[in-house]
Structure 1
Amino acid sequence: MLHRQSLAAGAAGILLAAGIGATIPAGATTAPPRSTAPPATAQVVNVRWGVHPTFDRLVVDVRGKLPPVQVTPVKALHYDGSGQRVPLPGKFFLEIRLSPAAAHNESGQSVYRGPRLVKLSLPALKGVALTGDFEGVVTIGAAFHTKPVYKTFVLHSPERFVLDVAHPAPVCHR
């Protein structure tokens, strides 16, 4: 009896492999296709940083096409919506604004995996915060003890915005 079941299972496997008795039409798939297309609105998914010999680097990772980015010196950082001051150390601040962009998907779930608020002790960069994700605008704040001297550029594959901030000049005491 066990031998007959093995033969039946083997024959069924051969028939299925040969396509005999298949009920799925050619070109059909059994699983829904997965979308690999980039999102319609750029999604801010992470913020990270690093120290280099003469500068600190802040990188904003984006899924989709990188939108226009504005970097603006501001007197203080505030959370969008509430207007509350962002509790980061520093005397100088930069607001990085990406628009149109979102830090959430079409279902309203956050796609942002970076820090919401982090205090740092790098030579130039003293803190970073996600300060807003509202009506197609994502804002990120950066804090410094000295006036930041910076340059910006874009890198691709994957899409990311880069802010390089020069280390402060050493203070000589004589």
Structure 2
Amino acid sequence: MKHRNFCQITAAAVILTAGLPCAQPASATPLASARTQTPLVVNARWGGHCTYDRLVIDLKGYVPTVTVTPVTRLFYDGSGERVPLAGKYFLQVRLHPAAAHTEGGKNVYRGPKLIKVYLPKLKGIAMTGDFEGYVTLGATFNTKPTYKHFTLHQPERFVLDIAHPNVC
């Protein structure tokens, strides 16, 4: 009887310890390690819909904190030079932490640096900064924009919808 209990205990111990190399602390899970990597801004794209214009920022990694701020003008980060896009109203979209380049300095952003857009509301997009953990883009409008923003996942995206009257 003692031998049988000993065998059962030994077998249980072997089974339990066999699983230990597979166990990982929470900090080593893929989600946690993905959060430690700076998300990369890889593209910006836009589209027109019946009642809104949409700006989408594509990311590799996760969606960082994003602030959308109405500003009086758009300026390039670092230089402070004015962004040469016409418009009366401007939105600054700032992502942090984020980068548009790898740690080695290779540019990963493939979207427009500066482009006029001919949609009902959205008139231009500019990449205005990629510096010290912040990526900043700007959008221009001829009339005051009413907007909402949200995130989408798999793939990771930040979405800015700008409302306008139905054009369909």
If the length of structure 1 is used for normalisation, what is the TM-score? 0.74
Give the whole-Å Cα distance in 1 for the aligned partners of 2:166 and 2:84.
Answer: 26
Tell me the SS of whatever aligns to 1:102: coil
Instruction: Report how far residue 121 of structure 1 moved.
Output: 1.1
Structure holding more helix per residue = 2
Q: Which runs of 5+ in 2 are unaligned?
A: 1-32
1:165 counterpart = 2:162:
yes
Q: C-alpha deviations, 1:113-138, integer Å up to 9, x for none? A: 00000011110000000000000000
Instruction: Report how far residue 167 of structure 1 moved.
Output: 1.6
CA contact under 8 A between 1:151 and 1:165: conserved in structure 2?
yes
Q: Given the alignment, which residue of 14, 21, 43 partners 2:40?
A: 43
> Counterpart of 1:23?
none
Sequence identity of aligned pairs in percent? 64
Tell me the SS of whatever aligns to 2:145: coil
Instruction: Report how far residue 89 of structure 1 moved.
Output: 1.2
1:119 counterpart = 2:119:
no
> Counterpart of 1:78?
75
CA contact under 8 A between 2:63 and 2:156: conserved in structure 1?
yes
Instruction: Report how far residue 44 of structure 1 moved.
Output: 0.3
Aligned length: 134
Instruction: Select the structure of larger CA radius of gyration.
Output: 1
> Counterpart of 1:10?
none
Q: C-alpha deviations, 1:62-108, integer Å up to 9, x for none? A: 10011000000000000001100001110000000000000000100
Tell me the SS of whatever aligns to 1:101: coil
Q: C-alpha deviations, 1:39-77, integer Å up to 9, x for none? A: 810000000000000100000001001100000000000
2:93 partner amino acid:
I
Give the whole-Å Cα distance in 2 for the aligned partners of 1:51 and 1:82.
Answer: 32
1:61 partner amino acid:
D
Give the whole-Å Cα distance in 1 for the aligned partners of 2:165 and 2:139.
Answer: 15
1:144 counterpart = 2:150:
no
Runs (4+) of structure 1 moved beyond 4 Å?
A: none
Backbone CA RMSD of aligned residues: 1.5
CA contact under 8 A between 1:124 and 1:168: conserved in structure 2?
no
> Counterpart of 1:5?
none
CA contact under 8 A between 2:50 and 2:166: conserved in structure 1?
no
If the length of structure 2 is used for normalisation, what is the TM-score? 0.77
